[in-house]
Amino acid sequence: MTRAIGASALYVSLAATVAALFLVTFGARRRKEAWLNAGYAATYLQFGLMTAATFAMIFGLVAHDFSIEYVAQVGSRATPLYYTVISLWGALEGSILFWGWVLALLTALVVFWNRSRAGNLIPYTTATMLGVGIFFQFLLVAPAFPFGAVFPVPPDGPGPNPLLQNHWLMGIHPPLLYLGYVGMTVPFAFAMGAMASGEVGDGSWIRLSRRWTLGAWAFLTAAIIAGMWWSYEVLGWGGYWAWDPVENASFMPWLTATAFLHSVMVQERRGLLKLWNLNLVVATFALTILGTFLTRSGVLSSVHAFTEGLIGYYFLVAIAITLLASFVLVAGNSERLVSFGKLEGVASRGTVFLFNNLLLTAFTFTVLVGTLFPLFAEAIRGEKVSVGEPFFNRMTIPICAALLFLMGVGPALPWKEADRATLRRKLLPPLVGAVAGLLVSVFAGARSPYAVMAFAFAAFAAVANIGEFVEGARARMRMRGESAVDALGNLLATNRRRYGGYVAHLGVVAVAVAITASSTFRAEHEATLKKGESMTVGGLQVRLEEVWGREEPQRSVIGTTVAILRDGREIARLDPRMNFYPTSQQPVPTPAVRSRPSGDIYMNLQAFAQDGTNATLRVIVEPLVPWIWAGGMIICLGALISIAPFRRQAPAVVTEPEPALASPAPVAAT
């Protein structure tokens, strides 16, 4: 029954989406209001149907309805409820279903908030989103059909992939990633809609999609950070980023979207870079599809990859169509994309944005080349090579350092040409900060030039961005006599976009410092300990207390109890474990982490004697790691501040139902 409801909802939804696409497109071309409205209604309908299909699947999972192929594939009666629900995205078909549902939701929201706008921009934007929706819904009824029938109905299933049911973060990371990925469809759709309707010249598509872009970017940021966290907590190697193809795939659209968030300000203020911004939006969307392709096609091996299949070819065709359609539209709009503006000066913020874009593009390109090079080498030479962490670190750390530097210069420079006095006043404190950062890091024992450079530039950027807050608040205190706290609050409230950006910058600084510190100053040691024996790592004594075993409904657990002592006093007890799932040959490492703002003690059980007399432990002391996660949250907070409505709210309760998306934002906000 559930199966029938889900399956028919998918088929009808595909039909509704196709109908909506035609109605919206031809309604706009022939100027038939009724067709347009019918198309919009069909858009809501397909959202309703996708919702029905998704909830049918969740219901099937929770009810352990093993007559549904997908449930039989990922479900098991022993799996706890939380992991049962999130196994919705634990395998290919379910993840596409979830993706299709989020896309349908966003499409409906775009229509709901913008449908009253005159002109063909919104119809064509909707049509683009529906077109993408058709692709995913087609996958759902053809190669990734999740509601296949299983007969005879098995009494139980194997349960989700052990790696996906070993940590609660698996319930957070994938939905964030999908919201980020799918969210990037919206600015892309607005760009395509603007070009198709000929409204690309005035840049209104940018204003309408600005908050969507920021929102999608914030989700993508959160998803990447949550992915790092998951990797750190689950894979047992003590790291959080391995430059794995799938990690790279989520990082590339983030880089191009970040570039867009900056370069779009140049277009809004000076009318430059129109074509470039379109390219960035298209590239971001194409990279999200590429990322999905890399995750799902099995082209590149990765810890995060799903099983392979024919689905890769469909994604390849989707990438080709996306690029083709974009190229044709860009070519057709070439006259409208001519920029007439001028930069306001050489030593100005605009120039910094251009270099920021250059570096982010180079960053993206480096990651892309590195990710695809093994394929290229195999195609040309017939031999596989690896491009891994040492390569990416060597190539991208200088870019990161330069970006940190620009992150300090940008906010310090005015849009207008800066004179010497301004430059001195603005750049002197950050320079002092940079020297301080350099000295502190050298004093702390950093010797690698990369690390010292990173600390110095991070300090530079931090001082510059904090300086903007200080300067703005001081001006308010002086001119309006506000208290320091009021001044800071009002500063944020009156120019959310700008100061939200600076908050995000500070988050990036936190992440950069934490990553550099945790890789530069880490101390690690691995040893086989008998019960009662201890080893010393980073000034801590680590003593093996107990080796134990435990049976749980869905798995068996072998664990150790380990005491951590500082100066002979016990400060913590950790229990690194190995979880054995019936479906997996190899145990799933389950490291234990003690987190403090100053850093983590990370402990993984590498091996154990079967008689329980000894265990091999790997202990890593990693300074500042929690600041990576905190920094990610600060970045998202910055994006949230920027997304919030511009107009200052009256002190009364916010009752305005109209979300900010439709309200025209002032052009030159900064």
State in angstroms the smallest separation of the CB of 516 from another protein.
9
Is the CB of 383 or the CB of 658 nearer to another protein? 383
Is the CB of 160 or the CB of 623 nearer to another protein? 623
**Helix 185-197 vs helix 92-114: angle between axes, to the nearest 10 degrees?**
50
Determine the Cα–Cα distance for residues 186 and 110; give it in Å rounded to an integer: 8
- φ/ψ of 357, rounded to 5, equals -65, -40
Is the CB of 147 or the CB of 363 nearer to another protein? 363
To 10 degrees, the CA torsion angle through 633, 636, 637, 639?
A: 170
Which helix (H) or strand (E) segment holds residue 633: the answer is: helix 626-643
Determine the Cα–Cα distance for residues 514 and 519; give it in Å rounded to an integer: 8
State in angstroms the smallest separation of the CB of 67 from another protein.
27
Is the CB of 84 or the CB of 520 nearer to another protein? 520
Tokens read off for 197:
């309707």
Determine the Cα–Cα distance for residues 161 and 143; give it in Å rounded to an integer: 21
State in angstroms the smallest separation of the CB of 520 from another protein.
8
- φ/ψ of 31, rounded to 5, equals 55, 45
Is the CB of 256 or the CB of 297 nearer to another protein? 297
- φ/ψ of 555, rounded to 5, equals -165, 165
State in angstroms the smallest separation of the CB of 509 from another protein.
7
State in angstroms the smallest separation of the CB of 542 from another protein.
11
State in angstroms the smallest separation of the CB of 658 from another protein.
29
State in angstroms the smallest separation of the CB of 434 from another protein.
11
State in angstroms the smallest separation of the CB of 195 from another protein.
8
Q: Is 568 exposed, middle or buried (0-12, 13-18, 19+ CB in 10 A)?
A: exposed
**DSSP 8-class letter at 481:** -
Is the CB of 70 or the CB of 135 nearer to another protein? 135
603's torsion region: left (phi>0), alpha (psi -120 to 50) or beta?
beta
8 Å CB contact between 598 and 517: no
> CB neighbours of 651 closer than 8 A, spacing ≥ 6?
none
Is the CB of 147 or the CB of 460 nearer to another protein? 460
- For 105, 114, 384, 541, the CA distances from 117, given in Å and listed in that order, are 20, 6, 54, 67
**Residue with token string 């968030």:** 261
Is the CB of 109 or the CB of 325 nearer to another protein? 325
**Helix 496-520 vs helix 626-643: angle between axes, to the nearest 10 degrees?**
170
Tokens read off for 372:
């695809």
State in angstroms the smallest separation of the CB of 170 from another protein.
18
State in angstroms the smallest separation of the CB of 56 from another protein.
28
Is the CB of 265 or the CB of 343 nearer to another protein? 343
SS3 category, 647: coil
Is the CB of 33 or the CB of 335 nearer to another protein? 335
